[in-house]
Amino acid sequence: MQTAVARPSARGVVGRTRSRAGLVVRASKDTCRVAVLGASGYTGAEVVRLSALHPNISITALTGEKQAGKPFAEVFPHLVAASNVGPLVKISDVEFADVDAVFCCLPHATTQQIIKGLPKHLKIVDLSADFRLRDVDTYAEWYGNEHAAPELQKTAVYGLTELARDDIKKARLVANPGCYPTTVQIPLVPLLEGGMISKDDIIIDAKSGVSGAGRAAKESNLYVEIAEGINAYGVSSHRHMPEIEQGLSDAAGADVKVSFTPHLMCMSRGMQSTMYVKLAGGATPDSLRAALSERYASEPFVRVLPKGSVPHTRHVRGSNFCLIGVFPDRLPGRAIVICVIDNLVKGASGQAMQNLNLVMGFPETTGLMQLAMFP
Q: Which is nearer to a second copy, 156 or 190 (CB)?
A: 190
> Cβ 206 to a second copy, closest distance in Å?
10
**What does the alpha-carbon distance between residue 320 and residue 351 come to, in Å, rounded to a whole number?**
7
Buried b (16+ CB within 10 A) or exposed e, 22-51: ebebeeeeebbbbbbbbbbbbbbbbbbbbb
> Cβ 357 to a second copy, closest distance in Å?
8
**What does the alpha-carbon distance between residue 135 and residue 183 come to, in Å, rounded to a whole number?**
22
Q: Which is nearer to a second copy, 136 or 232 (CB)?
A: 232
Backbone conformation region of residue 80, classed left if phi is above 0, alpha if psi is from -120 to 50, else beta:
alpha
Backbone conformation region of residue 109, classed left if phi is above 0, alpha if psi is from -120 to 50, else beta:
left
Q: Which is nearer to a second copy, 167 or 200 (CB)?
A: 200
> Cβ 18 to a second copy, closest distance in Å?
7
Q: Which is nearer to a second copy, 116 or 276 (CB)?
A: 276
**What does the alpha-carbon distance between residue 197 and residue 286 come to, in Å, rounded to a whole number?**
13
Catalytic residue (choose from 32, 104, 105, 179): 179
Q: Name, in order, each residue with C-beta under 8 angstroms of 208's C-beta and a sequence gap of 6 or more.
A: 179, 180, 262, 263, 264, 265, 270, 271, 343
Buried b (16+ CB within 10 A) or exposed e, 194-218: bebbbbeebebbbbbbbbbeeeeee
266 is catalytic: no
Q: Which is nearer to a second copy, 85 or 164 (CB)?
A: 85
Residues forming beta bridges with residue 32, ordered by sequence position: 57
> Cβ 32 to a second copy, closest distance in Å?
10
**Contact between 318 and 375 (Cβ < 8 Å):** no
> Cβ 78 to a second copy, closest distance in Å?
4
Query: Which are the catalytic amino acids?
Result: 179
